[in-house]
Amino acid sequence: MKVIIYADGGSRGNPGIAGSGTVVYSADRSTILKEIVYVAGTSTSNNVAEYNGLLRGLEAATELGATDVEFHMDSKLVVEQINGRWKIKHPDMQQLALAARKLIKGFNNFSLAWVPRAKNKAADKLSNDAMDAAAAGHPVGIVGAQAEGPPSAAQEGAGDVAPADEVTSAQADTATTAQPGDWRADRGPVTRFILLRHGQTPMSAARQYSGRANPALSELGEKQALAAAQALADVELDAIVASPLQRCQQTARAVAQGRDLDIETVEDLIEVDFGQWEGKTFAQASAADPELHARWMEDTGVACPGGESLQAVHLRVRRARIALCERFAGKTVLVVSHVNPIKSFVRQGLDAGPSVFHRLFLDLASISRVEFWDGGAVVRGVNDVGHMDGLR
């Protein structure tokens, strides 16, 4: 007998209220044989919740007498660890993996493959049902009619994990996610930022200073946003954050379309306040106050008249970046912002001085990539515009 299983897990807080969802289908996918909503704990990590989704699916397949199991999850970590390609150093993760492998040995054929989150919506919905149940006070265990008897030994060992342990787990496990040729040793949890500048607006087309002004994308800008979305279509994102201005929100929506992700607005990702220079061209701003404009071009501590300095932008973007690293350790985050906040991310990744603001060029709808971990960072790419070749 063959079954096809999809599972997912999540944690609101990481660690926090956590649960998993598992759907077991018949071999031809025409029939749902079992749906499992499982509360994983109230101080539990996302990774532990995902492992619970795997375990509940394996247990269900065993109970159904399956001999051939085709399993799908959108957790790269669980898939790679169970398939033996990533090491498992944390004791709690080792316990969960051992329980899973013991069940796997009972099948004649078993496969576990990664799928994009968009193709795992049924299990994702059940995992959210589990987190809702946990928030309502449901104890660790299966929710609803499926619950029969006390939790299994695997379930008993898969509940709450202390926050400090989860940090250790992430540090241990993400060391194995380095790309081929990456010579660094254990870096701990790496937060990967994909930095996307918004598409063209009428003001950018006219080469006007456009900071707090709020124009929409032009027709070309909409095409640029779509081209960037297509370039990122195969990239698994854990979060999308954007400046509050509509040109960034529009660009972010193009990427978010078809993904089960909300766009989070981060105020600190807004462009520099150009003050009295807003709407002026470079030449017009220079003509209005040649000395101040020249100083502003050389010194990031000099503020625009009635506006802010690039150093002030850098400080608030750095604050936002640190907060995002804490929230999304080991995750991939799309940041949709403006030229100067993105330059700040690159500057932080290079651990460089303020000259980056005046020496680095970033095209509209360009893609850059920067990674951060505790004590280090690396810039993997800057101003990628290959996706726009067909628009020129």
Element (H, E) at 148: none
Contact 236, 260 (CB under 8 A): no
- Amino acid sitting at position 74: D
Pairwise CA distance, residues 126 & 301, whole Å: 51
Q: Helical H runs in 64-120?
A: 76-82, 91-104
Residue of 198, 314, 338, 387 marked active site: 198
Pairwise CA distance, residues 197 & 186, whole Å: 31
Contact 75, 47 (CB under 8 A): yes
Whose CA is closest to 217, among 246, 179, 252? 246
Tokens 């201005």 map to which residue? 245
Tokens 């001999």 map to which residue? 67
Tokens 């660094």 map to which residue? 184
* Secondary structure class of 42 (helix, strand, coil): strand
295 annotated as a binding-site residue: no
66: DSSP letter: -
Strands (E), 213-354: 239-242, 263-265, 332-337
* Cα–Cα distances in angstroms (integers) from residue 11 to residues 47, 233, 245, 266, in the given order: 8, 25, 30, 21
Pairwise CA distance, residues 40 & 55, whole Å: 11
* Secondary structure class of 16 (helix, strand, coil): strand
198 in catalytic set: yes
CA angle 339/342/346 to nearest 5° reads: 130
291 in catalytic set: no
**Both tokens of residue 68?**
């051939």
Pairwise CA distance, residues 139 & 190, whole Å: 33
Q: How far apart are the first and last CA of the chain?
A: 55
CB atoms within 10 A of CB 183: 5
Residue of 50, 271, 278, 371 marked active site: 271
Active site residues: 198, 271
Known binding residues for substrate are 247
